[in-house]
Amino acid sequence: MLVLVTATWSCKEKSTTETEDYIPQNAEASSDCNLTSVEFNTWFSAGVASENGSVNAANSVDFTHENNCDFYKWSEQMFLWITSQSDGQTVMESPMFYTISPLKYIGSDTIRDFIPHAPGTILRAFSDVNKTDDIESEEGQATNDALMDRHGNLVYYITFGNDVYAQFLTGVKNGALNGDTFPTTATERDEIVNYAKQFGVELADANALAIELKTSWVLASSLENAADFVKAEAIIPTYQKTDALWVITDEETVELAMVGMHIVGSASGHPEMIWATFEHQNNAPNAKYQYIDAEGNTVDVPADGDGSWIFNSDISDTPNVSHMKFSNDSIIAVPGYKVSPSNTLMEKPWGSSYDTQPNPEDLTPAAANTTVINLNNSITNLLPGNDVRKNYQFIGATWTNNGAAPNGKPYSPTNTEDGVSIGTSQLSNSTMETYFQFGPNYNNNSQCFLCHHSSPAGLKPIDLSHVFHYINPLSGESKSAEPETP
């Protein structure tokens, strides 16, 4: 018999030694999500886990799954790979990835570009949706809202694609590769590898298949514990500021600290892609949620209180109310507010609603949360020393049953067709869907595939990706299109 108990957890600015203050440590052990040290060691390039050590990309070609946790492990390994560092540079900053530029309007053409990561290149990060010169960035949030940390510093966003994604897109747009779906098989991988070789390009991690990233960043100088973040040097805009309007005037080079990451990747059997998200544990307080403890009790965790959260300075304030929007090169205050920070709350802390079965495998939200919590604890415990990646929490991942074309709806006990999102089916990120979370309970709009699907449902890259249709191939051949929608 399950017993409902209540637990409270302290809230403060945490370091790598204080992860237990953020996430329960007594979650029920999950037999279907057991990450052993033996398996974890195989993720590392050296064959053994090491502090801040290099991790291999997950093998998406050989991806197999028996349960939800296989998708979650894929997500965790990809995150550790992407944030692995060599000579002070992460994999996402290396030549294996390209920055994807924002939309540019050139005459009647609406385009984006791949920006190669040549040695010595400094990333550009930006917060405006319609900047028209060659800025290496992406719009802030799908809702066109701007976000600030509690100190009044903007959040910046950068979108990336890996080399497999870039070569695939180029081959498709040049008529050399089949673009019916994102690559998922060894044959499709080999076709992309051989296409790249024609141009003297060797793909070092082709088994990763196609990867898109969206990342969110704050000024490292605004943080009391900047050493606990993945950081990168970047060029950001400067502004002429009034209470109601910020207008871009120039730019400067700063050190940024990463606060969030979306990872989207194709894998065997899943052309709809796996959609995963990660956050720094200091970002924002959690709303109430449940999990199952080691004694089999369902534990009711109340909402977090005040603390040194990056995006919340007053837990009593109404959360997730936008204070500002983008318009061209300006940030404009919403009526009734100044250009100022809002107070953010994670409304669905582990990607599941509070009140509804989230997927066919987990019968309750508490069971789904427990699986995600357990994997987070495993990663934290298995990463040696003060590995900076311990400070980032896996929130969840979503996909469709049997790789079906997504229909834009999340799973529920009365909504079970193959096109619904499953896994953590109500997934969002507090830095990228801040104002698009829809509360703690089940909501048809609260999930990734709401925006990343087509009608009728399809699996073409342009049905799933907001950027694919607009990106020029690596050859520089232009692609004209209508302006994209969030």
More confident residue, 134 or 113: 113
- pLDDT more than 90, % of the chain: 80
pLDDT at residue 128 tops 50: no
Model confidence band, residue 17 (pLDDT cutoffs 50, 70, 90) = very low
pLDDT in tens, 78-101: 999 999 998 889 999 999 999 998
Distance (Å, whole) CA 279 – CA 1: 34
Helix (H) or strand (E) holding 24: none
pLDDT at residue 19 tops 80: no
Q: What does the pLDDT read at residue 241?
A: 96
Write out the two tokens for 80: 């550790």
Mean pLDDT of the region 362-380? 96
Q: What does the pLDDT read at residue 280?
A: 98
In angstroms, what CA-CA distances link 84 with 39, 180, 274?
18, 32, 20
Q: What does the pLDDT read at residue 431?
A: 96
Q: What does the pLDDT read at residue 400?
A: 98
Distance (Å, whole) CA 82 – CA 486: 25
Among residues 4, 15, 35, 9, the alpha carbon closest in space to that of 349 is found at 9
Q: What does the pLDDT read at residue 87?
A: 86
- At 468, give phi and psi (nearest 5°): -55, -45
Q: What does the pLDDT read at residue 103?
A: 80
More confident residue, 120 or 71: 71
Instruction: For residue 413, count CB atoms less than 10 angstroms from its CB and return exposed for 0-12, middle for 13-18, buried for 19 or more.
Output: exposed
Average pLDDT, the chain: 89
Tracing tokens 């991806």 back to the chain, one arrives at 63
Model confidence band, residue 126 (pLDDT cutoffs 50, 70, 90) = low
Model confidence band, residue 475 (pLDDT cutoffs 50, 70, 90) = confident
Q: What does the pLDDT read at residue 477?
A: 41
CB within 8 A of 89, min separation 6: which ones?
A: none
- The pTM for the full model equals 0.92
Angle at 139 between CA 136 and CA 144, to 5 degrees: 165
Q: What does the pLDDT read at residue 109?
A: 81
Q: What does the pLDDT read at residue 31?
A: 63
Q: What does the pLDDT read at residue 21?
A: 61
Q: What does the pLDDT read at residue 129?
A: 34
Mean pLDDT of the region 363-382? 96
Q: What does the pLDDT read at residue 131?
A: 41
pLDDT in tens, 194-250: 999 999 999 989 999 999 999 999 999 999 999 999 999 999 989 999 999 999 889
More confident residue, 193 or 30: 193
pLDDT at residue 18 tops 90: no
pLDDT at residue 108 tops 80: no
- At 378, give phi and psi (nearest 5°): -60, -45
Instruction: For residue 277, count CB atoms less than 10 angstroms from its CB and return exposed for 0-12, middle for 13-18, buried for 19 or more.
Output: buried
Query: Which region holds residue 351: left if phi is over 0, alpha if psi is between -120 and 50, else beta?
Result: left
pLDDT at residue 398 tops 80: yes
Mean pLDDT of the region 374-391? 96
Mean pLDDT of the region 14-23? 50
The mean-pLDDT minimum among 186-190, 277-281, 479-483 falls in 479-483
Model confidence band, residue 480 (pLDDT cutoffs 50, 70, 90) = very low
Distance (Å, whole) CA 54 – CA 56: 7
The mean-pLDDT minimum among 33-37, 136-140, 413-417 falls in 136-140
